[in-house]
């Protein structure tokens, strides 16, 4: 009897897990649609600041009804590199310029 109860409990929790994942998929799909709708409501200048154009939004509809159009839009913005600041690379290691200043005599300053 304990074996049947354990099997039924395992099956129940498996079904609950599948249902939970499906709800998460639906919620993320709805969020992507809302984000896409917000992008569609922006004016052209704001879209340009994000590195996007109206054509990019039209192309995002190729994802289909159940696809995620924000993935296509994010890819387009990343391709153009907008919204990124140039990265400063710190150079470490020995200098190739000789240190001649440290060998010069110090000059007394006037008071």
Mean per-residue pLDDT, 34-51: 89
Ranking 43-57, 61-75, 78-92 by mean pLDDT, the lowest is: 78-92
Asked if residue 80 lies in contact with residue 56, where contact means CB atoms within 8 angstroms, the answer is no
CA nearest neighbour of 54 among 46, 98, 6, 111 = 46
Residue 32 is predicted with a pLDDT of 86
| Dihedral, CA of residue 25, residue 30, residue 36 and residue 42, to nearest 10 | -150
63 or 69, higher pLDDT: 69
Confidence check: pLDDT of 9 > 60: yes
pLDDT tens track for 76-105: 888 877 555 555 555 565 666 666 656 656
């Amino acid at each position: 009897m304990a074996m049947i109860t354990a099997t039924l409990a395992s099956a129940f929790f498996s079904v609950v897990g599948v249902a939970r994942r499906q709800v998460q998929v639906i919620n993320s799909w709805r969020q992507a649609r809302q984000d896409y709708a917000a992008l569609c409501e922006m004016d052209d200048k704001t879209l340009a600041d994000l590195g996007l154009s109206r054509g990019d939004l039209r192309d995002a509809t190729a994802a289909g009804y159940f696809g995620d159009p924000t993935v296509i839009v994010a890819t387009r913005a990343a391709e153009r590199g907008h919204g990124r600041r140039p990265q400063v690379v710190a150079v470490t290691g020995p200098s190739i310029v000789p240190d001649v200043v440290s060998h010069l005599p110090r000059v007394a300053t006037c008071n």
